Amino acid sequence: MTRRAFDMPPDDIESLESYGWEWETLHVNGQMILLIHNYPIPEGYSPRLTNTALVIPPMYPSNQIDMAHFYPHLSIDAINRPLSATERVTPSFTIDGCQYQQWSRHRNGSWRGGIDGIDNHLAYVNWFLKRELQKHNIS
């Protein structure tokens, strides 16, 4: 059963449904979470599909979405060490008994309040995942 603990803006709902993903909105530890099931991850990572959680801030879409959280945890196939800024400095969260891996990648002012939304943030997530591969000379 799909959970809808809060409403997303209509444009975001349209975007999410256009991709055909199963998604839910949840309250976890006082935070609003958008959970996307079987989100595709770029080649070079394991696993290739994850549940991806985004913390939806109060006053969204005026306030930016920041970072992304993955379960199962992501690793780069070609390296055998932890990825920078993925180990939890502060506790992430658990959803349905699964501990999510926080990727601490920040937008640093690139959010256009009231204009940007889920599509823009997911493009940012894909960009930072691909950028991490490039840092390890994997393309």
Task: State yes or no: pLDDT of 83 exceeds 90.
Answer: no
Task: State yes or no: pLDDT of 81 exceeds 70.
Answer: no
- Residue 89 counted as domain residue: no
List the structure tokens of 125: 């997530």
Q: What pTM was estimated for this model as a whole?
A: 0.90
Half-sphere exposure of 71 (CA within 13 A, CB side): 14
Instruction: Please report which helix (H) or strand (E) contains residue 18, including its range.
Output: helix 10-19
Residue 97 has a pLDDT of 92
Task: State yes or no: pLDDT of 16 exceeds 80.
Answer: yes
The count of domains in the chain is 1
- Residue 25 counted as domain residue: yes
Residue 70 has a pLDDT of 93
Q: Provide the residue range defining the domain that includes 50.
A: 10-82+96-134
- Residue 18 counted as domain residue: yes
- Residue 101 counted as domain residue: yes
Q: Can you say whether the dihedral through the CA atoms of 11, 14, 20, 23 is positive or negative?
A: positive
Q: What would the mean pLDDT of 93-103 be, rounded to a whole number?
A: 90
- Residue 3 counted as domain residue: no
pLDDT band at 85 (very low <50, low <70, confident <90, very high): low
- Residue 91 counted as domain residue: no
